[in-house]
Amino acid sequence: MESDYRTLPLAGNGLWFLQPRHKLLDWFVGANHRSGFSTFEITVPSLPPAIVISDPKNVEHVLKNEQVFVKGTFFRSRSWDLFGNGIINADGDLWRVQRKAGLRFFSNANLEVFLDEALPQILDDTERLLDGTVKGQEIVDMQAVFLELTTRLMGKMAYDMDMPASLPFSKAFDYASGAIGDRFQNPFWKIKELLFGTRLRRAFFEVKRFGSDIVSLNVARRQKFSVTMNEAAKGVNPLKNNLINSLLEHIPDHQVVADAAMNYLSAGRDTTAQSLTWTLYLLLRYPQQQAPLIDELARTFPSVPRSSSLQDITYEHAQPSVLPYTHSIFTETLRLCPPVPMELKECVAPTTFPDGTWLPKGSVVIWVPWAMGRSHRIWGEDSQHFKPERWLNAAGSIGLQKSAFEFPVFNGGPRICLGKKLAELLAVVVLARLIWRYEFTEVMDKSLGGCGIGGERKSQNSLTLPMEDGLPVTVKMREHLAG
């Protein structure tokens, strides 16, 4: 095992961890390109001993051995104020009972209802909003548009609630998530929050209050209508078998249910909205990739008039076998812009990795999907380029297959992401409808929120990958619709 470069006596790698998160991620990419699959050690004052792994065999060792590698006290001590006992923080039986509730919710039957009944109504509203910006020649932040869409969808799907992103909890959660992310980078976070933490404490309170309100509302509904999960499952509408009912059925402690509800809400709305934002951004930076997408849609929907919206796209259309190029665009975005760019676990027993690295109890292991997605050894010398076609074979079907340990965007092993299929199919439907209907142009003027000619959008400090200052664009109807 080697120590990574650019370390200083006493400070170790700590100075890099004090940099904005996007600079830290670039540092990990550089380390990956130099070290390949080699495991290296990093030292940050006040943090436990830590190693960084990039070899897929080592990642597999971590993800498949949940008795040895856990969230642990290091992670929970930093994330507890926001996630509490929710699934993001949980280990053992507490994790298993929340996952069981989630499995019931993310069934194929429910996914079909979400995409064919709940999503079209919300997308219709999104199109009306964008149509208005076309008429008024307004600048619109697409990250905010996507967040509104995913928040409303998760609210309807998971909690049977009208939940716009403008609710106070949304801004509170975004602010708190950024602060939690800072706790993992800044060894002096306790001092910082002691001196300047008033706004953060208010944000935590607002998030907890909102989670409790969700639970209280749905407990009252269950009492009023005497609806059990078994009765709901017999109903005509599978959405009645929603996530909050499943959580209440499996977990007696309502505070744990509230924590779980907010964890699932975060995972469902934030990561998907952010991934859609980065997908649109990459399509704007690589405009040549839009033509094959539109051609695929035209071939798949030949009966749809060129002057019409793709309102008839369904769950069946969204499958990789039907729209492989559209899928490849989203998958390629996840490779370059993973919604959780850095992961870590704590080792609760001594262990030896497949490459021979020995790790003592209490150490932290880090793997960085952001850097692994740019690994020359996994993806080739063109790993830093946006090439959706890398996922397709000569026949134009999905051909490239990577294991969850080479491509750990959706985690792997027992903790593989429950929402993987939903995120992929949802993204395909949203991209198909919006790219078919609109031409987007990125605003570059810094005075209008752009990043300047030659500049690039960056991620902001967070546990996930929000785009700093959003994605300002102008919108116009595609020519085949404008006429």
Which pLDDT belongs to residue 46? 62
Between CA 362 and CA 69 the distance in angstroms is 10
Own/partner pairs for 245-254, CB < 8 Å, 24+ apart?
245/218, 246/101, 246/102, 246/104, 246/105, 247/98, 247/101, 248/215, 248/218, 248/219, 248/222, 249/101, 250/97, 250/98, 250/100, 250/101, 251/97, 251/98, 251/101, 254/212, 254/215, 254/219
Residue 188, burial from CB neighbour count under 10 angstroms (0-12, 13-18, 19+): exposed
Q: Residue 326: beta bridge partners? A: none
In Å, what is the CA distance from 404 to each residue of 25, 121, 162, 242, 423?
A: 20, 33, 35, 28, 16
Which pLDDT belongs to residue 186? 85
- Would you write out the chain's pLDDT as a tens digit for each of its 483 residues? 655 545 444 445 667 777 888 999 999 999 999 989 999 988 876 678 899 999 999 999 999 999 999 999 999 999 999 999 999 999 999 999 999 999 988 988 889 999 999 999 999 999 999 999 998 889 999 999 999 999 999 999 899 888 999 999 999 999 999 999 999 888 889 999 999 999 999 999 999 999 999 999 999 888 886 644 455 445 444 446 789 999 999 999 999 999 999 999 988 899 999 999 999 999 999 999 999 999 999 999 988 776 678 888 999 999 999 999 999 999 999 999 999 999 999 999 999 999 999 999 999 999 999 999 999 999 999 999 999 999 999 999 999 999 999 999 999 999 999 999 999 999 999 999 999 999 999 999 999 999 998 899 999 989 999 999 999 999 999 876 654
Between CA 240 and CA 395 the distance in angstroms is 42
In Å, what is the CA distance from 254 to each residue of 206, 213, 232, 249, 479?
A: 17, 11, 20, 11, 53
Query: Please, what's the b/e burial string for 253-286 (b: 16 or more CB within 10 A of its CB; e: otherwise)?
Result: ebebbbbbbbbbbbbbbbbbbbbbbbbbbbbbee
In Å, what is the CA distance from 84 to each residue of 24, 258, 259, 340?
A: 27, 9, 6, 19
* Nearest Cα residue to 440 out of 268, 300, 294: 294
Angle at 117 between CA 301 and CA 104, to 5 degrees: 115
Between CA 335 and CA 378 the distance in angstroms is 11
Residues in the chain: 483
At 397, list the tokens: 């079907």
CB atoms within 10 A of CB 305: 9
In Å, what is the CA distance from 249 to each residue of 90, 97, 214, 243?
A: 18, 10, 15, 10
Say which residues have a Cβ less than 8 Å from residue 434's Cβ, sequence separation at least 6: 126, 127, 130, 280
